[in-house]
Chains A and B, each alone.
Chain A
Amino acid sequence: MTQERAIDPVYAAQLTLNGLLLGLLYALIVSGLALLFGVLGIINFAHGEFLMAGAYLMAFALPVLGLAYLPSLLLAMLGVALLGCLAHALFLRRLREDEFERSILMTTGLSILLLNAVQYALTATPLLVDTQFGFDGIDLGGINITWTRIAAAAAAILALLLLWLCLTRTQLGRAMRAIAQNREAAMMVGIRPEAVARNAVILATALCGLAGAALAPIQLVQPSMGQFLIFKAFALVIIGGLGSIPGAAIAAVLLGLLESWIGGFFDAVWQEVVVFVAMMLVLLLRPDGLFGAPRMRAG
């Protein structure tokens, strides 16, 4: 059975496309995490809950906006960015440098609060999200792709491209990279770390909200949807080299492909284990190189 499937080119192509999409969505999540580590020096344990918030905003915005995909996507993204801005103003702003454990505990508190508040208010019942595309798709020689997946992939590619342009071509992005590379020197030339940190949080949470919103019509929306995804994302950030956005994004796309192939040809267990095995290997082979220098590179 599995042998036959392994040879079938249509099945393999379907898996590859699914994996590519999954990887692109991972890349959105992971690049935000890497940005936050680079600029603020924190690991955001509430990132999964921002993703969940994006999915719920999408689920609520769609019926109100007459199922229109793009406006709902933008609204959800904006909403999550606002939430991120609020989280920075209330909590993250108070973190000083070298308060790594405090940042984890703080974002863990935020994660517990958001997850259980949503569960309390909306119950844990999963939502099925309908869009203007319905569940239709296109057929490419036997490979079936739904429009919601195509739209999600397009949005992810566009967002990643814009992120790269922002980091390399705009003053906003250069300031973020400057803070990540050398905080003191950046301050000496007049960059205000707090404003840059706020921008980074808004950017990272907007990317995460976009990922959640794009994911909403593809899988079930439920409060715990961000939890397992985020742990994979942490492992990816290590594999890609902490603080390196392209590294993390490439690792994310590769993982998406790998997971899809493994899930298609082997037992589903290995699909979930592969990321942790990869992380252990990377840590064993390059224990310092990946975590050692918390510097952010953008190209």
Chain B
Amino acid sequence: MLRHLPPLLALLAAALLPALGASPYVLGIGITACIFTVGAASLNLIYGYAGLLSFAHLAFWGIGGYCTALGAVSLGIGFWGGLALAGLLNAALAVLVGIPALRLNRHSFVIVTLSFSLLTALVARDWVAVTGGPLGIPGLPAPELFGLSLRSPPRFYWLALAFAALSLALLRAVTTSRIGRTLKALRQNEPLAQAQGIAPTPYKLLAFAISAALCGMAGGMQVFYMQVVDPLILDFYYFQTFLVMMIVGGAGHFWAVVIAGIVMTVLPELLRATAELRMVIYGALLLFAMVAMPGGVAGALESWRDARRRATAERPDPVTAAAS
């Protein structure tokens, strides 16, 4: 129980933010941090744990956005119905894309998932009857809970926070479960895991589906925050942001990616960086991480800790002592 205490305390502190008189601007940053952190964490499940670099998450994010919006506007199932539909549809799409894509090697996986995202962007732009074309669907209604409108910044902030808390809890549960350990085993040594009687594909598909569902629901949250969905939701900017957050935090480290998601949303705002300058910094960070610390900040800390342990443990290792 004690190990759940720090995240719960952080959640409590975050929930108290509107009560402490935070301005709508600060709450807006908080909402973005919540949504983007879920995006980065969902990418972490598929790359950090399952070892698959998926570019399809841009499509899942965008499809989730459109699906939630259409649910509320056209299908009459409201925001909640749309959000649930976004999760289910994306999970189904992930399986549909994943089955052929996983049959190929990892080179093709990258290109096929990338093409899926590009095709989705084309569909969003050109299927005018459903998506509204380049203009999109403006004027999305406010999400409601028990007849209560969640439009005001504090209320939408609480909604985003609750969504992030539940999504991250689910992802945490998956990554610490037997499924998460199996995925890690598969990433480290697939033939060995197969020799233990583990079939890789169902596990990878499951991770892909969960990750796609959560990423899509995060996209649904994003469009209701912006109150409009248009083809810009499929801009590479979003995917690149999630990618940089995950890599800089440390792929495969759950809390590191969550912290990176929050810090990397808040810090550019504090520095008053423009959109281009922020992306210049993100690009430089990604390059730096790939050159100097491929494991991200968490990976660098881990290897530094290991090195220090090795230095302090002066006792010679029995194995090497015997060998020499």
Contacts and interface: CB of A to CB of B under 8 A. Distances in A.
Please classify how large the interface on chain B is, using the bins under 10, 10 to 19, 20 to 34, 35 or more: 35 or more
A283 B104 contact: yes
6 contacts: A102-B290, A106-B291, A234-B114, A235-B115, A284-B100, A287-B103
B77 interface: no
Contacts of A117: 276, 280, 283
Interface stretch (B65-73, B105-113, B149-157, B297-305): B105-113
Interface in A216-237: 227-228, 231, 234-235
A43 B279 contact: no
A120 B119 contact: no
Contacts of B287: 91, 106, 109-110, 113
B115 A276 contact: yes
A283 B276 contact: no
B110 A120 contact: no
Contacts of A272: 122
B236 A227 contact: yes
B306 interface: no
Given A101-B106, A227-B236, A120 B277 contact: yes
A133 interface: no
B35 interface: no
Nearest to A113: B283
A105 B105 CA distance: 18
A231 B104 contact: no
A114 B244 CA distance: 15
B294 interface: yes
A133 B111 CA distance: 39
B198 interface: no
A234 B108 CA distance: 10
B247 interface: yes
Interface string A86-100: 000011001000001
Q: Which 9 A-B pairs have the closest CB atoms?
A: A113-B283, A109-B286, A112-B283, A109-B287, A116-B279, A120-B276, A106-B290, A116-B280, A269-B126
B234 to A, nearest CB: 12
B100 A111 contact: no
A114 B112 CA distance: 25
A228 B287 CA distance: 22
A116 B108 contact: no
A40 B96 CA distance: 32
Nearest to B239: A108
Given A101-B53, A111-B283, A234-B115, 6 more contacts: A102-B290, A109-B244, A109-B286, A120-B276, A238-B108, A276-B115
Contacts of B289: 109
A102 B294 contact: yes
Nearest to B240: A112
B100 A291 contact: no
Please classify how large the interface on chain A is, using the bins under 10, 10 to 19, 20 to 34, 35 or more: 35 or more
Contacts of B115: 231, 234-235, 276, 279-280
Interface of A: 43, 90-91, 94, 100-102, 104-106, 108-117, 119-120, 227-228, 231, 234-235, 238, 242, 269, 272-273, 276, 279-280, 283-284, 287, 291-292
B114 A231 contact: yes
Contacts of B244: 109, 112
A242 B107 contact: yes
B110 A43 contact: yes
Contact of A112 (B114, B274, B286): B286
B282 interface: yes
B263 interface: no
Residues of B contacting A: mostly: helix
Given A231-B118, A291-B104, A238 B111 contact: yes
Nearest to A93: B291
Contact of A291 (B108, B274, B284): B108
A282 to B, nearest CB: 10
Given A100-B106, A108-B243, A120-B277, A276 B119 contact: yes
Contacts of A280: 112, 115
A269 B290 CA distance: 37
Most buried by A among B111, B244, B279, B289: B111
Interface in B235-289: 236, 240, 243-244, 247, 274, 276-277, 279-280, 282-287, 289
Most buried by B among A90, A283, A292: A283
B291 A100 contact: no
A276 B276 CA distance: 30
Contacts of B126: 269
A252 to B, nearest CB: 16
Contacts of A108: 240, 243, 286
A91 B111 CA distance: 22
A238 B289 CA distance: 29
Contacts of B243: 105, 108
A105 B112 CA distance: 16
Contacts of A269: 122, 126
Interface in B91-143: 100, 103-108, 110-112, 114-115, 118-119, 122, 126
A102 B47 CA distance: 12
A234 B110 CA distance: 10
A119 B107 contact: no
A84 B175 CA distance: 40
Interface string B50-86: 0101000000000000000000000000000000000
A105 B286 contact: yes
Interface in B126-183: 126
